[in-house]
């Protein structure tokens, strides 16, 4: 149990127009901070006014990217209550990322307590409008002021909060995806399964190329053979071929184990829809598209929940999937997950953690 000191802002900020939130542009009045040192362990848990963090220019995070993060949301139900979706899964994943990046773990119950406490302090910032939520961004940075390459001895764990708009204010429109054949996001043995900022730095060039092609996201292929499908942008990816839902397996450690991915698999199993976690080559997808057995494709992640893929751009080839419409499985998953998240449907899976 953390002893969290709370220092409230003197004057709360004016809240943004909740109909024009977008993603990650506005931040609440407060943030959670906690420090780590070898002598004291994790200590000095506190909630303070949101604002800049002072760091030495030689702080290790600036040079060697010893940084990791998480992303989850707080949802407001029609009754006005606030709830989290499977926060235990994000917290376990955060600690798994800590292990990969040589960062000391934080006890899971302390992380949950910190998240709940800071959301509680800024609960007026959880928006009410349909499809909106409060995005929660926990992160850890290495702060030792020295340039030697080794794990830091000091860290800051922070949680910031951002009210975010409905991803689908204009309806769920399938997106165009660019198949990246040259650059890769990660390799076997690398940090693909870790939620590390460094992975994103390495992926920007592919994202930029996708945007230059008029696409929304990159479809990443594996780093060894550039043959098997890894992920789509910052989402896990699913293809429905001949009625079977297929998603890349996690075994090689190059795929981020998404909470949304896991939830989709659990729901599909519950509904008796055939679902396979296995290697899936881009050639198998192209073949299925040619012979008419590619039923649908979609990405999954906390931000959009489900993002249907309408077109794949691979070199000079363009493949249209499901007439550029959202597929029935994508729609059913979207409705089921969002129904539970905003409390419209009963929490039959036991996924909800109530805050108040």
Ligand X SMILES: *Cc1c(COP(=O)(O)O)cnc(C)c1O
Single out the residue of 40, 38, 22, 253 nearest to residue 152, CA to CA.
38
For residues 146, 148, 152, 154, the Cα torsion angle rounded to the nearest 10 degrees is -20
Q: Does 236 bind ligand X (CB under 6 A)?
A: yes
Taking the C-alpha atoms of residue 201 and residue 196, their distance in angstroms, rounded to an integer, is 9
CB distance 5 to 46 below 8 Å: yes
Considering the complex, state which of residue 143 and residue 260 has its C-beta at the smaller distance from ligand X. 260
For 323, other C-beta atoms within 10 Å of its C-beta total: 8
Considering the complex, state which of residue 180 and residue 231 has its C-beta at the smaller distance from ligand X. 231
Minimum CB distance to ligand X, residue 237 (Å) = 9
Q: Which residue has the tokens 């910052």?
A: 234
Q: Nearest 5°: phi and psi at 38?
A: -60, -40
Structure tokens at 217: 């996201």
Minimum CB distance to ligand X, residue 203 (Å) = 8
Minimum CB distance to ligand X, residue 186 (Å) = 9
Residue 334 CB partners (closer than 8 Å, separation 6+): 172, 305, 306, 326
Q: Which of 104, 127, 163, 301 binds ligand X (CB under 6 A)?
A: 301
Q: Which of 231, 252, 296, 311 binds ligand X (CB under 6 A)?
A: 231
Q: Which residue has the tokens 């996924």?
A: 351
For 319, other C-beta atoms within 10 Å of its C-beta total: 19
Q: Nearest 5°: phi and psi at 141?
A: -125, 150
Q: Which of 83, 152, 162, 302 binds ligand X (CB under 6 A)?
A: 302
Structure tokens at 242: 């001949």
CB distance 57 to 74 below 8 Å: no
Single out the residue of 253, 354, 235 nearest to residue 302, CA to CA.
235
For 263, other C-beta atoms within 10 Å of its C-beta total: 22
Q: Does 206 bind ligand X (CB under 6 A)?
A: no
Minimum CB distance to ligand X, residue 58 (Å) = 28
User: What residues are paired with 299 via a beta bridge?
Assistant: 237, 307
Of 98-106, 164-172, 267-275, 300-308, the segment contacting ligand X by CB under 6 A is 300-308
**CA distance between the termini of the chain:** 19
Restricted to residues 107-166, the positions that interact with ligand X (CB under 6 A) are none
# residues near ligand X by CB under 6 A? 14
Q: Which of 179, 235, 309, 319 binds ligand X (CB under 6 A)?
A: 235
Restricted to residues 272-291, the positions that interact with ligand X (CB under 6 A) are none
Of 8-16, 207-215, 234-242, 310-318, the segment contacting ligand X by CB under 6 A is 234-242
Q: Which of 34, 175, 259, 330 binds ligand X (CB under 6 A)?
A: 259
Q: Does 71 bind ligand X (CB under 6 A)?
A: yes
Q: Does 261 bind ligand X (CB under 6 A)?
A: yes
Minimum CB distance to ligand X, residue 218 (Å) = 11
Minimum CB distance to ligand X, residue 176 (Å) = 19
Of 15-23, 95-103, 156-164, 231-239, the segment contacting ligand X by CB under 6 A is 231-239
Of 140-148, 228-236, 288-296, 342-350, the segment contacting ligand X by CB under 6 A is 228-236
- List residues near ligand X by CB under 6 A: 71, 195, 231, 234-236, 256, 258-261, 300-302
């Amino acid at each position: 149990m953390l002893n969290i000191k709370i220092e409230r802002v003197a004057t709360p900020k004016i809240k943004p127009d909740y109909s024009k939130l977008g993603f990650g542009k506005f931040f609440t009045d407060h943030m959670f901070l906690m420090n780590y040192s070898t002598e004291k362990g994790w200590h000095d848990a506190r909630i303070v006014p949101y604002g800049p963090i002072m760091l030495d220019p030689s702080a290790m995070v600036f040079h060697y990217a010893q940084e990791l993060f998480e992303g989850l949301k707080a949802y407001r139900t029609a009754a006005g209550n606030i709830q989290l979706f499977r926060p235990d899964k994000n917290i376990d994943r955060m600690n798994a990322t800590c292990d990969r990046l040589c960062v000391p773990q934080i006890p899971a119950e302390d992380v949950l307590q910190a998240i709940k406490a800071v959301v509680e302090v800024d609960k007026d910032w959880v928006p009410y409008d349909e499809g909106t939520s409060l995005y929660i961004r926990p992160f850890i940075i290495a702060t030792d002021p020295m340039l030697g390459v080794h794990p830091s001895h000091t860290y800051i764990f922070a949680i910031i909060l951002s009210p975010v708009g409905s991803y689908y204010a204009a309806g769920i429109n399938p997106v165009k995806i660019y198949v990246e054949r040259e650059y890769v996001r990660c390799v076997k043995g690398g940090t693909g399964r870790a939620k590390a900022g460094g992975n994103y730095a390495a992926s920007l060039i592919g994202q930029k190329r996708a945007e230059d092609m008029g696409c929304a996201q990159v479809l990443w292929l594996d780093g060894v053979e550039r043959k098997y499908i890894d992920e789509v942008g910052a989402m896990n990816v699913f293809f429905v071929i001949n009625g079977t839902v297929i998603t890349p397996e996690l075994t090689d450690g190059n795929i981020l184990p998404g909470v949304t991915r896991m939830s989709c698999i659990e729901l599909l199993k519950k509904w008796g829809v055939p679902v396979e976690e296995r290697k899936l080559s881009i050639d198998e997808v192209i073949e299925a598209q040619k012979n008419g057995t590619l039923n649908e494709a979609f990405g999954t992640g906390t931000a959009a929940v489900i993002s249907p893929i309408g077109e794949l751009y691979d070199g000079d080839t363009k493949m249209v999937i499901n007439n550029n419409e959202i597929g029935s499985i994508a729609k059913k998953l979207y409705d089921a997950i969002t129904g539970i998240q905003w409390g419209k449907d009963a929490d039959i899976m036991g996924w909800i953690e109530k805050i108040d």
